[in-house]
Every structure is written in C-alpha cells, then in structure tokens.
Chain A
C-alpha cells in the first residue's frame, strides 16, 4: 500500500519532466534576470545620485510615473506615434518576408547565392557594423558633399527622374517606394530565414495530394502553406513587434536614452518601465487574439 502512495501518475511525472526541462531557464530567469530588473525598478522609484561611493538611492515614491503622463509633454506623444506607426510597419514586414521566403524556397539556379545575399542584413544589420555604416554616411558627407553614402542615398536617382521630365509628385512617390523597399529588405532578414526554415517543415505529401486533386498553386498556398506556417508566423509577428518597439533608432527609445545620457537614471528607468509594460500588454493582446487561429498539426 505504501508503495502505491509514492508512485507518480504519468501526468504528474510529465509535469515534473517539463519543469526539469525549463529548469536552466528558470534558474537564469530568477537568478540573473529578475534580480537585475528588481534593482532597475528600484532606480525608478528612487532618487539616484552618483557619489564617490557608487550609486546612492533615496526612496521617493511613484512621482516619476505620474510625471511621465502629466508633466512630460513629449513622452505620450512619442508613444502614440510609435504605436500607430507599428500598425502598418508590422503587416508590411511580415507580408514582404513571407512572400520573399516563398519565392526563395522554390528550386532555381543561383538559390545559394540569393540566400546568402539575404542573410547579409542579419549580419550587417545588427551591432557595430550598422552604426559604422551610418557613421560613415555622416563622415562621407563631410568629405565630399553629396557623395552617395552607405545607406542607399537615392538622390542620384531622384535627379535622373526629375531631369527626365517627370512631375515632382510622381518622383517623390517613386522615391518613397524605393527607400521603403530598401528599409524593408534590410529589416526583414531574420523573418525571411525563419519563414524558409518553416517552409521546410511542411510535408511534401500534402502538396502532392493537393496537386492530384487539382488544386492550383494559389489554392495550395492558402490551404496548405499558410496554415502550416502559422506557428512560425506567430514568432515572426511577435519578434517584428518587439524589434520595432525596441529599436534604438525610434523616437521613444531615443527619448528614454537621452535621460540616461543626462545621468537622470531615475527618470530614464521610469520611462523605460512604462514603455516596456505597454509593449508587453500590446504583445499580450496580439498573442491572445491570434493564438486561437494558429494551426498546430497536433493539439
């Protein structure tokens, strides 16, 4: 009888296994991440002064949080602008990268080359290379005036179009398209690779049977590819939202950073916490709305 008491049911055993699987992450989350964000939250509710002994904190309550909404003129404005620009930024990036991934997933000559090219934005679009490229754009203009700089200045093309006699509003429309395509292809490197990896896991038998049943490629895409790829679409969606919001070049992040550079750590961490919690809530809403529509082949 006693032995039976200690015997674990299968579901209990599995839940313990699950916790064991996530235990490294859990340790890191509690030991490294949570400890760090707690002290970051501390900064936001305290006056932070830098002395020779290091940082000195003096509790002052949630005044900063109120100030961000009541006194601060710019923060709420930047925030709403950022959120509304995300409304078209995210679908455009996702649509473009899914389209490119489908195109590149087919077999054709030079596929290796094209895929290597589209990996370049992932390599060069992060970290120091990008900032050197942008910095060089600046130093170039110092050296030789309007020489074409690193980040695809389209002034030459604009001149050519204007001189060829096109109306200026049409030219500005075309220029907007061109620079938009440039930004698009440099922002969607990661999503394209994720989608290609996702497309690889769609079983080929599905396409074969659809072909025999007489489905066109268009139907096959919407009936097979799209549903099968929704789990990856979800990751890309969440990543695109986060990447757009936490990109250091956007207005809100720059505004937050500007306080950090003025050594006003208290207010900058207040703003960043408000911002991250808003982003988190947005992601929660998106996740809750879309997660039901995702097709997992099993459960």
Chain B
C-alpha cells in the first residue's frame, strides 16, 4: 500500500514537474520572443534616427575631405575621388588652430565651472529653503531664460566698458572725485563675471534643472547630516552634490557646449577672435582677405568652411564620449529607504 502511494506520488510529481517545466519553457520562450522583438524594434528605430542625425554630419565630413575640384563633379555624391587632408592642414594655419583651441578650452572651462557653481548654489537655495519672495525670485529666474542675450547686449556692453563694480565704484567716487571704473572689454572677465553670478549663457535653465533635482532628494538626507553636526554648507558639498551627479554632468555638458559654440558674446566683447567659434564665424572674411573670394573660388570656400566646422566640433565630441560614462554608470543611491 505504502509502495503504491509512493508510486502515485512519484507519478504526479513527474506530471506536475513536466507541466511546470513546460510552463517555464513557454514563459522563457515567450519572454525571449518579446525580448527579441524589442531588440529588433530598437535596432530599427535607433538606426533610422542615427541616420537622420548623422546625415548632415557625414555630408560635412565628405565635403571636407575632398579636393575642391570634386565638388563640381556630378558623379560624386558621397565618396570623393580625390581624397585630401589639405583642407585641414591649411586651416591649422589660417585659424591659428592650436592657440585658439587652448584659448577656447580655457574660456569654456572657466565659464562652465563658474556657471555650474553659481547655478547649483542658487538651485539649492530655491529647492530647500523657504524665504520671503522666493516665488517671485524664482519667477525672475524663468524670466532671465526668456530674454535672449541679444536683447540686453548693448546695455551690458556699455556697462562693461565702464564697469563700476555694481555701484561700489560710484560710492568710492564720492571720496576720490571720480567714479572708480574699469574697462573690462577685451578681457575674459566679460564672460566670467556673469557666469559667476548666475547670469551666464542660459544660467536660468541650469538653476531650474538643479532645483528640480535637489527637490527630489529626501529631506532625511540633510536632517541626518545636520544631526551628525554638519553645517549647511558642508551638507551641501558632502551630501547633496555627490547625489546629484547626473544633474551636474548634464549642466556641465550643456554649459561647456554653449560656451564653446558661442560667438555672439565673444565677438561682441572682444576685438580679435578669441575662440574657435568666433574664428569660424569670421572665416569667410579671413579667407577673403587672403584672396579667396566666394565668387571667384567658391569651391575652396565651401570645403574649407566644412573642414573648419569639423575641427570646431570634434573636440566637443571627444569630451562628450569621455563624460557620458557618468550617465551610464548607475548612481549609488543613498542608504535611506522609502
């Protein structure tokens, strides 16, 4: 009898085991199938999108590596017959490339660092503290994003020409006899001062981004730090900032790119081209002064312009590929649950 029960049990176990196994198999097959279809869908979607985005860039590269005479050959659309890197090598001299590259890196990095510091401070202030007129002040932050820099450039130009240190110079003027002013034009301070005061290129947007990220952080984080004896500033630097890495990275990226690409402000405040973008904006005039007119030598102009574009954005791409690691690495969450 006992043997029979055992056999029946074994039998049922076998059947159920099989059913269970089959269900597992089916589930696996099904999820494999759906995963595969997701992968195929993703592949098609992303390759179409990449094509759309890359099309103009690839075209740019294709123009920049061809000899000018290949431009008016109707049989050539993408792949040039006469490959050449001479466009790039002549531009090294024409643009004064390496000097301007170093200069651009310096201006863009200092501007970015100052911008991100001032914006993260302001973003934290708006996110976590209550004070009078906070909402009005924040509305003004949004207002600064709306006004394009072109709109306030002429008054700012006047102000930098006789910079009075926000009225302090005027105050000293009461004692010295004439107001204490400095001409900031043609110095990089015309870019650094607004950046350090949260008025750099699209600073309002960065303040907003930081505020939203900081607001999402649990209050317990700060409270724990306060209880452990951290001051407000130390809490911000040691606890809050390390948890906001994605926000910092994206703001650094955008800010760097916009300082790098800016040619409005730099050409406004500097007489000589100081950055690659300004040199690029004036490249056609430079080439004309060297005897390459657009109407007599259009092909040289076009290939040189495209090559110069590549040389301007290539360093940015390289920096991005290094920085974007911070996006993909999973950010370590804090030990607070809930």
Residues of A within 8 A of B (CB): 11, 14-22, 24-33, 35-37, 39-40, 100, 103-104, 106, 108, 111-112, 114-124, 126-129, 132-133, 136, 139-140, 142-144, 147-148, 150-152, 181-182, 185-186, 190, 193-194, 196-198, 200-201, 203-205, 228, 231-232, 234-235, 238-239, 242, 245-246, 248, 269, 272, 276, 279-280, 283-284, 287, 296-299
Q: Which residue of B lies closest to A22 (CB)?
A: B125
Contacts of B134 in A (CB 8 A): 18
Instruction: Flag the segment in B5-13, B94-102, B139-147, B171-179 that touches A.
Output: B139-147
Contact with A22, one of B137, B236, B263 (Cβ below 8 angstroms): B137
A19-B125 contact given A29-B198, A235-B209, A280-B146, CB 8 Å threshold: yes
Pick the most buried of B74, B118, B216: most chain A CB atoms within 10 A of its CB: B216
Contact with B327, one of A17, A106, A182, A196 (Cβ below 8 angstroms): A196
- How far apart sit A32 and B142, CA to CA, in the bound complex (Å)? 16
Instruction: Flag the segment in B20-28, B79-87, B315-323 that touches A.
Output: B315-323
A276-B321 contact given A117-B54, A124-B57, CB 8 Å threshold: no
Contacts of B30 in A (CB 8 A): none
Q: Which residue of A lies closest to B168 (CB)?
A: A31
Whether A234 lies near B212 (C-beta < 8 A) is: yes
Contact with B302, one of A18, A20, A143, A297 (Cβ below 8 angstroms): A143
Whether A15 lies near B130 (C-beta < 8 A) is: yes
- How far apart sit A246 and B48, CA to CA, in the bound complex (Å)? 29
Whether B50 lies near A150 (C-beta < 8 A) is: no
Whether B146 lies near A18 (C-beta < 8 A) is: no
- How far apart sit A137 and B216, CA to CA, in the bound complex (Å)? 45
Interface size on B, residues (CB 8 A): 108
- How far apart sit A293 and B147, CA to CA, in the bound complex (Å)? 27
- For the residues of B in contact with A, the DSSP-based class is helix
Whether A197 lies near B246 (C-beta < 8 A) is: yes
Whether A126 lies near B257 (C-beta < 8 A) is: yes
- How far apart sit A239 and B306, CA to CA, in the bound complex (Å)? 30
Contacts of B209 in A (CB 8 A): 194, 232, 235
- How far apart sit A96 and B249, CA to CA, in the bound complex (Å)? 22
Q: Which residue of A lies closest to B312 (CB)?
A: A129
For this complex, 14 residue pairs linking A to B, each with C-beta atoms less than 8 Å apart, are A15-B131, A17-B129, A18-B131, A27-B166, A32-B156, A35-B155, A40-B155, A123-B257, A124-B313, A128-B280, A186-B53, A232-B209, A238-B145, A269-B151
Annotate B242-270 by CB proximity to A: 1 below 8 A, 0 otherwise: 00001101100110011001111000000
- How far apart sit A116 and B125, CA to CA, in the bound complex (Å)? 33
Whether A139 lies near B321 (C-beta < 8 A) is: no
Contacts of B141 in A (CB 8 A): 25
Is B128 among interface residues, defined by CB-CB distance under 8 A?
yes
- How far apart sit A234 and B137, CA to CA, in the bound complex (Å)? 18
A-B residue pairs, 5 tightest by C-beta: A18-B129, A28-B197, A21-B125, A127-B261, A25-B198
Is B1 among interface residues, defined by CB-CB distance under 8 A?
no
Q: Which residue of A lies closest to B226 (CB)?
A: A10
- Told that A35-B155, A136-B302 touch, could you supply 11 new A-B pairs with CB distance under 8 A? A33-B147, A122-B254, A124-B309, A133-B56, A147-B77, A152-B52, A185-B53, A201-B216, A231-B216, A238-B145, A239-B205
Contact with A32, one of B137, B199, B320 (Cβ below 8 angstroms): B199
- How far apart sit A114 and B305, CA to CA, in the bound complex (Å)? 27
Contacts of B313 in A (CB 8 A): 123-124, 129
Whether A127 lies near B302 (C-beta < 8 A) is: no
Contacts of A35 in B (CB 8 A): 155, 159
Q: Which residue of A lies closest to B232 (CB)?
A: A17
- How far apart sit A77 and B241, CA to CA, in the bound complex (Å)? 47
Whether A18 lies near B298 (C-beta < 8 A) is: no
Q: Which residue of B lies closest to A120 (CB)?
A: B53
Contacts of B143 in A (CB 8 A): 280
- How far apart sit A203 and B281, CA to CA, in the bound complex (Å)? 45
Whether B216 lies near A28 (C-beta < 8 A) is: no
Whether B152 lies near A143 (C-beta < 8 A) is: no
Is B185 among interface residues, defined by CB-CB distance under 8 A?
no
Contact with B42, one of A16, A108, A197 (Cβ below 8 angstroms): A108
- How far apart sit A133 and B249, CA to CA, in the bound complex (Å)? 28
A123-B246 contact given A197-B327, A299-B215, CB 8 Å threshold: no
Whether B294 lies near A123 (C-beta < 8 A) is: no
Contacts of B194 in A (CB 8 A): 28, 32
Contacts of A205 in B (CB 8 A): 333, 337
Whether A19 lies near B131 (C-beta < 8 A) is: yes
Whether B147 lies near A37 (C-beta < 8 A) is: yes
